[in-house]
Structure 1
Amino acid sequence: MTGKEFIVAIELGSSKIAGIAGKKNNDGSIQVLAYTSEDASDCIRKGLIYNINKTAMGLTAVVSELEEQLKCKIAKVYVGIGGQSLRSIKNFVVDQLDAERVISKENVQHLMDINRQTRYKDLDILDVVPQEYKVKNSIHTDPVGVLGSQLEGHFLNIVARTSVKRNIMTCFEQAEIEIAGFFISPMALADIVLTDIERRSGCVLVDFGYDTTTVAVYKNRVLRHLVVIPLGSNNITKDICSLQIEDSEAETLKCKYGSAFTMPGVNTDDDEYPVNDTRKIKAKLLNEIVAARVEEIVANVQRQIALSGYENKLPAGIIVTGGGSNLRNLQDAFKQQKSDYVKVRIANFVIPDVKYIDSTVLEQDGRRNTIFALLAMGKENCASQEKETSTLDMFEQQQEEEARRREAEERERLEKEAAAKAKAQEEAKRAKEAKEKAELENQINNNAKKDIDAAAANVANALKRIEDAKKKVKEAETNKSGKEAQQASQMADNALKDALDAKRQAADSMARITDEAFLKDARTVFADIEAKCKEAEELAKAIRDKKDEVKRQNSFFGRLRSVGETILED
């Protein structure tokens, strides 16, 4: 016998067919022994197989590469089921017992068998999650041992189109690969990225994938709702491509610069990102495109949460994973959809420790969380147990042991190098994030300072208009024209309003400044704004008083009084 033991899992994703081999250690960690992937964009869409032959060829290539890395034949593999048509349907079944009795495991199993016989048009039941049982108007999670004459069960049936499982089995048969078992990918993923507290308190797991976004609602450690939304991060890439940008360049723009949510004032009209060596794109336009599609996906997620019936019963909040979870400010995008506080956690990696010599497979970007979950779910040994064709003599055995020792030393060396590289990458990432944060704050401060300078210019302009109005009201007094005085006063009031509006805008911009150096300059400008506004208010009041005086002098009684005073002087 070969004596090798490992588990093999296959993930049929929209962007790639991934294969992994490994084992679970006694301490709960996962040891990856081999990993590979093949492009699946031309045979799988939104998690569903549409080209049997190409998918079978991809499976053959994946398994062959795993065997090459393992130096061992693979007997069977576990397969994850996901994709667009996967969803949950609630169902309840009532079983009337022949007499009142203590409910047994057999009664519960019989009820579950009845539920399994439920038929849905063009859909297969892939799995069943019991929700609760009802006996004599009392709710039980486990009714075994309870006295009753009727048993009612509430179930969550996980269904998918009939063709989904059939097409998977056809591809594996064509590739001559035995299937050890099927797992529902979102349920396996939940087991490896959600904490027990999150599942118990109530939470939403959002797998933001390439072509789809899967939503799974948990409460009291039980799955309550499951659906796959046919929108993913690739839709964002396609939206960017609409600007006559190549797919690869659009994907780079999305991953490097795209923001799921951007605070007002962060991007000015002059900010740009490079598309390639010869072209740039406005930062504001890029982030508007990204944010619009993210807003649509988040709105669909929120709608599914509402449909689940647990909208305000999930204190652990939303946990986002998958490749799409790497978008900047994604947490803010989810929070903007709720008027009240919502907790959002990005699950970039699985909870158990994962070990592998290739650090790129262990990158904490959420893209391989599902394949790790499928590996963790496996139970049976997937290694081929063929008999050896020859017997090694003692010398050959010693050579083999020495080779194994050297291999172990080399693996240890590579693991140390990988760990050091990962540490350096993490430090570089933190430094980059700190730099980007500083640049962002500097940009916000600069924009705020520009706004304050613009407000100062507006106030100065308004003051000049008021001074012009002062001249006009004097001319009105000379011309004894109440109408001209009224126009001059209105001109002064309008200018004063513009000055006070500019002052308020400057005050709002002051609140956005975080840097003390910027704030010092801003305070000087703002003090000048306040002084000019005060001067403007005093001038405007003087103009209004002069207007009232001119109007009184030119009224009927005013002219009459003037004639009387002239007669008295004569």
Structure 2
Amino acid sequence: MVPKDFIVAIELGSSKMTGIAGKKNLDGSIQVLACVKEDSSSFIRKGVVYNIDKTAQCLTNIVSRLEKQLKTTITQVYVGVGGQSIRSIHNVIAKDLPNETVVTQDMVIELMDANRNVIYPDQEILDAAVQEYKVDSQYQLDPVGIQCTRIEGNFLNILQRKTFYKNLNKCFENAEINVAEMYLAPLALADSVLTEAERRSGCALVDLGADTTTVSVYSKNILRHLAVIPLGFNNIIKDIASLQMEESVAEHMLIKYGCAYTDNNDIDNNMKYSIDSERQVETRKFIEIVEGRLEEIIANVWCQVPEEYCDKLLGGIILTGGGSNMKDIEKAFQNYTHVDKIRNAKFVTQTITSAIPEATTHDGMMNTVLGLLAKGDINCAGGEYDPNGDLFASQKSQASETVEQRRARQASETPAGVVRTAEEIRRAEEEAQRKRDEEERIAREEAEAKAREEAEERRKNSFWNKSWNKLKEFGKTMVAEEE
């Protein structure tokens, strides 16, 4: 049976680009209908687009392969935004108020808009996570209705280099693939692997990827810090390859022999690992290379945890991603961070069903794209797939009926974790400009009308006008007396 209602999500990873289609069931579970992957290492580096044309071509291939499996055209897709240069920065916007002023929702929106309008050189604000509001001397999550004389909005702005943001948007434009919604991939991942208790009590989510490692710190159900470290397990592979071997061989050795933590007393100095039929490497040397680079990654992760939260991670550290499959990775984190509570999130918290084994493999590598799929709420299905038809024409015509009908949202209207596309920002700015022009026109017309009224009033009250009116009255009186 050809599906008529499904959601499509695409993750642009450093090693693989993954496309997935699934359907949400009434019981909250998700049924994965199709899943495809393509190698992306030649055009995506550190999680960001490096070659626009090759990325666009790969996106086209992903969508085409999904359509063939689904036998249905795809009108739009959900996309995850992540990778190098994404970081968070705190910002405070304050406003003094007259005495006995009650905070309104409009005041809160004004603070949010002012924060969104802050300019960071060469950086794009992808999202702004509200930390709390300081109402006089008290901190509140919702200040509306409270009387005060000063209000401060504390925000966590999530930034990315404008070049990377523009390149990502350009890829989908070139591929003529419509974007239903962009989500911050680390936030979508967190929503799918963290428990409510972990987010509330304080935790650090570490996504160990191929080229990057993403760190998200939560406390009291609020994102407190986000950073992407440009180090991943590919760095370990390259270090092993420095022993005069191909990277493919180094990757095989890492998978076969790699261990995150080895006690010094357990190392056999006489033992060697085989590189190929002719060459070997000393066990100790191999272990030192692997654990040396891994320790650097863990050290950078721990440096990203703000000092005020280091001893408050009651929810512990949660590991996920492909790198979390390394043997004794939990022990390595415990040894360096001295955090006893380490959990390895091999799969998402949602119930996933599928006839595709890859979609339900508990290895942490599908968590992000499944998290993006779980975020979707707009039907991405189009008409029946025609392998001989003009795929792009049908895709464009049906896509235009969905996105362009949706009103472009202003920054303050955007849900948490959602990244507006460049097209939506453009339409929102045009709408805001039209609104400003209309307000200016109305204000100008009101000012002109008021000026005319004042001029007429001045004319009526002028000396000559009063004299003329008296003269006319006198003339009328004289005529009446003669009659």
TM-score after normalising by structure 2: 0.77
Mapping of 1:73-112 within 5 angstroms? 73-112=73-112
Does residue 346 (structure 1) correspond to residue 344 (structure 2)? The answer is yes
Distance apart, 1:118 and its partner CA: 0.6
Higher relative contact order (CA 8 A, sep 6+): 2
Q: 2: distance between equivalents of 1:54 and 1:365?
A: 28
CA contact (8 A) 2:345 2:364 kept: yes
| Structure 2 CA distance for aligned equivalents of residues 299 and 350 of structure 1 | 26
Aligned residues: 385
Aligned-residue offset at 1:96? 2.5
Taking the aligned partners of 2:170 and 2:335, their CA distance within structure 1 comes to: 44
In the alignment, structure 1 residue 335 sits paired with structure 2 residue 342: no
The aligned residue for residue 241 of structure 2 is: 241
- Stretches of 4+ aligned residues off by more than 3 angstroms: 385-388
- Contact 2:21–2:32, Cα closer than 8 Å, also in 1: yes
Deviations 1:326-371 (A, max 9, x none): 1111111111213x44311111111112111121332211111111
Structure with bigger strand share is 2
Q: Is the 8 A contact 1:217 1:308 kept in 2?
A: no
Distance 1:238 1:27, change over 3 A: same
Shift of 1:271: 2.1
1:49-108 deviation line (CA, Å, top 9, x unaligned): 111110010000000000001100000011110011001010010123345332222221
Partner SS, residue 152 of structure 1:
strand
Point out the more displaced range, 44-53 or 145-154: 145-154
Partner residue in 2 for 1:310: 309
* Counterpart-to-counterpart distance in 2, 1:105 and 1:387: 47
Q: What is the alpha-carbon distance in structure 2 between the residues aligned to residue 341 and residue 310 of structure 1?
A: 12
Matched-pair contact (CA < 8 Å) for 2:6–2:21? yes
Q: Indicate yes or no: 2:221 matched with 1:224.
A: no
Percent identity (aligned)? 51
The change in CA–CA distance for 1:232 and 1:341 in structure 2 (over 3 A counts) is closer
| Whole-angstrom CA distance in 1 between matches of 2:285 and 2:358 | 32
Q: Deviations over 1:497-555 (max 9, x none)?
A: xxxxxxxxxxxxxxxxxxxxxxxxxxxxxxxxxxxxxxxxxxxxxxxxxxxxxxxxxxx
Q: Name the structure 2 match of 1:362.
A: 360
Please point out which of 362, 379, 382 is paired with 2:380. Answer: 382
Q: Secondary structure at the match of 1:337?
A: helix
Q: For residue 510 of structure 1, what is the aligned residue in structure 2?
A: none
Q: CA deviation at 1:276?
A: 2.8
1:385 CA drift (Å): 5.0
**How far does residue 315 in structure 1 lie from its aligned partner after superposition?**
1.1
Larger Rg: 1
- What's the counterpart of residue 43 of structure 1? 43
Alpha carbons 1:16, 1:38 under 8 Å: kept: yes
Shift in alpha-carbon separation, 1:319–1:243, aligned structure 2, 3 A: same
CA contact (8 A) 1:77 1:181 kept: yes
After superposition, the CA RMSD in angstroms is 1.7
Task: Kindly state the Cα deviation for residue 154 of structure 1 after the two structures are TM-superposed.
Answer: 0.1
The amino acid that maps onto 1:101 is: T
Aligned with 1:289: secondary structure?
helix
CA displacement, residues 148-194 of structure 1 (integer Å, 9 cap, x when unaligned): 23221100001100012211111111111001111000011000011
Q: Distance in 2 between matches of 1:382 and 1:67?
A: 11
Contact 1:238 1:247 in 2 (8 A): yes
After the TM superposition, which of the residue ranges 227-236 and 362-371 deviates more from structure 2?
Answer: 362-371
1:104-161: per-residue Cα shift (whole Å, max 9, x none)? 2222111111111011000000011000001121110111121123221100001100
- Tell me the distance in 2 between the aligned counterparts of 1:170 and 1:63: 17
- 1:457 is aligned to none
Structure 2 residue 38 is matched with structure 1 residue 29: no
Gaps of 5+ in 1: 389-570
- Contact kept in structure 2, 1:23 and 1:31, CA below 8 Å: yes
Q: CA deviation at 1:387?
A: 12
Give yes or no for contact 2:34–2:356 (8 Å, CA) kept in 1. Answer: no
Q: 1:274 corresponds to which residue? A: 274
Match of 1:165 in 2: 165
3-state DSSP class of the match of 2:18?
strand
Aligned to 1:64: 64
Q: 1:375 corresponds to which letter in structure 2? A: L
How does 1:249-288 map onto structure 2 within 5 Å?
Answer: 249-288=249-288
What residue identity is the alignment partner of 2:346?
Answer: N
Q: Select between 373-382 and 100-109 the one with higher mean Cα deviation.
A: 100-109
Q: Distance in 2 between matches of 1:208 and 1:3?
A: 34
1:177 corresponds to 2:177: yes
* 2:313 aligned counterpart, secondary structure: coil
1:475-490 equivalences under 5 Å are none
Take 2:73 and 2:307, find their aligned partners in 1: how far apart are those partners?
45
Cα distance in 2 for partners of 1:293, 1:40 equals 24
Partner of 2:431: none
